[in-house]
Amino acid sequence: MPAVPAATEAVLRVALPLPLPRLFDYRAPPAWRADQAAVGCRVRVPFGPRELIGVVAATGPADTDAPELREVLERLDPDPLLRGELFESLHWLARYCHAPLGEVFATALPAALRRGEPRPETRTWAWRLTEAGETARGAMRAGRPKRLADLLHAAARDEEALDDLLEGWRGVARTLAGRGLAERVAVPASQLAPAPQAGPEPNPEQAQAIAAIAAGSGFAPLLLDGVTGSGKTEVYLHAIADCLARGRQALVLVPEIGLTPQTLARFRARLGVPVHALHSGLNDGERARVWTAALRGEARVVVGTRSAVFTPLPEAGLIVVDEEHDGSYKQQDGIRYHARDFALVRARALQVPVVLGSATPSLESLHNAGGGRYAHLRLARRAGNARPPPVRVLDVRKRPLDNGLSRELLEAIDAALASGGQVLVFRNRRGYAPVLLCHDCGWSAQCRRCDAAMTVHGGGRRLQCHHCGHRQAAPPACPDCAGLALQPQGVGTERLEELLAQRFGERVPVLRIDRGSTRRRDALQKHFETLGDRPGVLVGTQMLAKGHDLAGLTLVAVVGIDEGLFSADFRAAEKLAQLLIQVAGRAGRAERPGEVLLQTHHPDHPLLQTLIQGGYHAFAAAELAQREEAGFPPFAHMALLRAEARHADPPMAFLQRARALLAEAAPPSSAVGQGLVLHGPLPAPMARRAGMYRAQLPLSALQRRDLHLALDRALPMIHALPEARRTRWSLDIDPVDL
Ligand code: ADP
Ligand code: ZN
Ligand code: ZN
């Protein structure tokens, strides 16, 4: 790290969270000693009439030609907050995304630290019994105080562990403390470690995978390609335990809805060390605490969602990305990073193994494994006694449907319930019905601000736009013809719930699980607990597709997937195949055999045929061949320039100019199909959303270098375009939605 020159001369080059691709120079305050590291520290600086928090990215000698520089107002860190590998990897990310370093730093830091707050206290708080408490314990009557006292008997327990062990323990602890029986103490994490619980003996496939991960030295990407229920999590747990035994930290990334209290409890119990969770359900203070605990090396295992990929790992030993194909790893605004891809970059810089796990690996990862760039570990069988469920296609062409359900399907549900099983009905469309239609004149309810139909909710009483959130009451009569023939068209999860409750609700519970019914992270768990192992019906969206083990699930019924078969997005087939396999994988997880029914009007569709006859890998091979033919990722590299404005013209005008600049900047092509290919500009698939007109310019190149070269050259000019000021625009490298 470069030493700061004599303080009076030192120039601090500060990365500020502004959409400008440059650093900003400030004079170091006189109090800043020359021997203090500056790079990576946060500073408060004047910026125009405002004050901003930034991070020192570099230092330099004072430039005598430079105009009078303003002085840093305050130094916020005594030693660098961003440093070492993370600091370097964030530079890489800024270059890769062609994004300002200051915005990348701001994305990586937890909000509290971004705002300039001091690094939080990170000691682990635990509770233990006082001597009086130990004495009193024997005489306590059964009840919650006694249960807590028993848990604290002989050893302190950290607060996170108590969260898993006894609901509402905090109030009980306060009561005990008030009577002098228990006390709260800060302890080193190492003193807490309860003995890890033993897991099942790994089967030969698992043992092989565990050995392969342990054998790697330095950077080693491994694709753990294992069918649902094959014991991938067991493999992670062994690899993490190995990593901990070597005295290193482990980072585990999970999809947004995969991080349930149940998952955390499993990790905590099995690893026997505090496991720190990082996810969107935490408040700013908690996030900053976990991040800082990792920076200090106190957090040894961090399990988190997308943004946890920015966790500092000074003693890294392993990174795991569970369900690596999951769409929630891609950030969709601001700095549009992909957490899986950035995890790979960090693992390389940290020289540690990175395990990508999935039952339905992304085509990118399969392609990399096929090309020998990743080790390919297969778990082909389910662990324990569970068997994969057979899939049966229900051809519903010309069959009468009752609210979208065929008679055969209803009979199958009936039979499954009668034999004591649980049923999952999957429909990836929340709400009551996708459209409100007038049967007299053909009018349908459209969102005023989007090119999209309003979804019917509340059994037909309310309308809601799923794209901009706009809500209104359903009109009592048709606004066009004043007729009274308004009817909800099609079926969403709400309507399915209503129908299934009418049929089966007297016999068994019928529960709906989607974002409407299950806003909170633990609400999902509550639903599952309500059901327990009694027979019952769950209706839901893809929220049901992952995460939770339902031991009694014997029938999975998939309805209404047909629209997904004919999407224009080149990734639609991959997403649909993954979803179907993941949903199907919920059946027959434990001792009971399961069955999957797939109701469709297109039983002969090649996607369904390949998937059912050959499984996911046959589908993936066919799909990869098509992608190669068509020149799509992973055989080409893409970027997307997006623009939007309140009127339709500015985005197109801007993208036209940008296109011209990019075409000029593109390296000359040496052969057909080489170099940069520009398509468009075109209106976005949803040309108007939340009142904004949207257009896009896709760029692709066979060589990643060609794409980045052209962008490096053209972007400064694109930034400077007068048209750029009349639209909101952004660049997305490796976009997932086109
Ligand atoms: P995945 O992560 O691939 O879905 P899990 O690791 O959650 O699979 O394992 C699925 C189920 O199988 C769990 O209940 C787990 O305890 C059990 N299991 C995993 N490995 C074994 C094994 N070697 N022997 C017996 N049961 C196992
Ligand atoms: Zn009408
Ligand atoms: Zn809308």
How confident is the model at residue 8, as a pLDDT?
45
Asked if residues 541 and 511 have their Cβ atoms less than 8 Å apart, the reply is: no
Mean pLDDT computed over 46-74: 86
- Does a cis peptide bond (omega within 30 degrees of 0) precede residue 261? no
Ligand 1 contacts CB of residue 552 (under 6 A) = no
Nearest to 544 by CA among 422, 456, 414: 422
Length of the chain: 738
How confident is the model at residue 523, as a pLDDT?
67
Check whether 225 has a pLDDT greater than 90: yes
How confident is the model at residue 6, as a pLDDT?
47
How confident is the model at residue 398, as a pLDDT?
82
The answer to whether 97 is annotated as binding is: no
Q: How far is CA 722 from the centre of its chain?
A: 36
Report the complex ipTM: 0.97
How confident is the model at residue 670, as a pLDDT?
55
Question: Which ligand 1 atom is nearest residue 386's CA?
Answer: 12
Ligand 1 contacts CB of residue 206 (under 6 A) = yes
How confident is the model at residue 634, as a pLDDT?
95
Round to whole Å and give the CA distance between 17 and 26: 15
The pTM score is 0.90
Question: Which of 197, 210, 224, 234 best tests ligand 1's pocket when mutated (most atoms within 8 Å of CB)?
Answer: 234
Ligand 1 contacts CB of residue 230 (under 6 A) = yes
Q: Show Cβ contacts of residue 245 under 8 Å, excluding neighbours closer than 6 positions.
A: none
- Please write the tens of the pLDDT for every residue from 437-457: 999 999 999 999 999 999 999
Concatenate the DSSP letters of all residues of 499-537 into one string.
Answer: HHHHHHTTTS-EEEESTTT--SHHHHHHHHHHHTTS-EE
The answer to whether 468 is annotated as binding is: yes
Closest Cα to atom 9 of ligand 1: 231
How confident is the model at residue 1, as a pLDDT?
46
Task: Name the least confident of 65-69, 486-490, 529-533.
Answer: 65-69
Mean pLDDT computed over 195-199: 77
Task: Name the least confident of 47-51, 488-492, 551-555, 686-690.
Answer: 551-555
Which H or E run includes 617? helix 606-630
The fraction of the chain above a pLDDT of 90, given in percent, is 59
Check whether 7 has a pLDDT greater than 50: no
Task: Name the least confident of 298-312, 440-454, 503-517.
Answer: 503-517
Asked if residues 492 and 521 have their Cβ atoms less than 8 Å apart, the reply is: no
637 phi, psi to nearest 5 deg:
-115, 135
Q: Work out whether strand 249-253 and strand 316-321 pair parallel, antiparallel, or are unpaired.
A: parallel
545-583 as b/e: b if 16+ CB within 10 A: bbbbebebbbbbbbbbbeebbeeeeebbbbbbbbbbbbb
CB-side neighbour CA atoms (13 Å) of 707:
23
328-349 as b/e: b if 16+ CB within 10 A: bbbbeeebbbbbbbbbbbbbbb
How confident is the model at residue 249, as a pLDDT?
95
Mean pLDDT across the chain: 88
Mean pLDDT computed over 618-624: 95
- Please write the tens of the pLDDT for every residue from 370-402: 999 999 999 988 877 666 678 888 888 888 888
- Report residue 35's pLDDT band, with 50, 70 and 90 as the boundaries: low
Closest Cα to atom 19 of ligand 1: 231
Which H or E run includes 462? strand 462-464
CA–CA–CA angle 623, 683, 715 (5° rounding): 90
The answer to whether 478 is annotated as binding is: yes
Ligand 1 contacts CB of residue 226 (under 6 A) = yes
Task: Name the least confident of 53-57, 64-68, 388-392, 419-423.
Answer: 64-68
Ligand 1 contacts CB of residue 384 (under 6 A) = yes
The fraction of the chain above a pLDDT of 70, given in percent, is 92
Task: Name the least confident of 58-62, 70-74, 450-454.
Answer: 58-62
Q: Show Cβ contacts of residue 311 under 8 Å, excluding neighbours closer than 6 positions.
A: 251, 278, 290, 291, 294, 299, 302, 304
Concatenate the DSSP letters of all residues of 159-216 into one string.
Answer: HHHHHHHSTTHHHHHHHHHHTTSEEEEEE-GGGT-PPPPP-PPPPHHHHHHHHHHHH-
Q: Which two structure tokens, joined as six digits, stand for 659?
A: 């296109």
Check whether 682 has a pLDDT greater than 50: yes
Round to whole Å and give the CA distance between 236 and 387: 22
Q: Which two structure tokens, joined as six digits, stand for 592?
A: 């009971």
Mean pLDDT computed over 600-627: 91
Check whether 198 has a pLDDT greater than 70: yes
Ligand 1 contacts CB of residue 233 (under 6 A) = yes
Round to whole Å and give the CA distance between 148 and 152: 6
Q: Work out whether strand 275-278 and strand 301-304 pair parallel, antiparallel, or are unpaired.
A: parallel
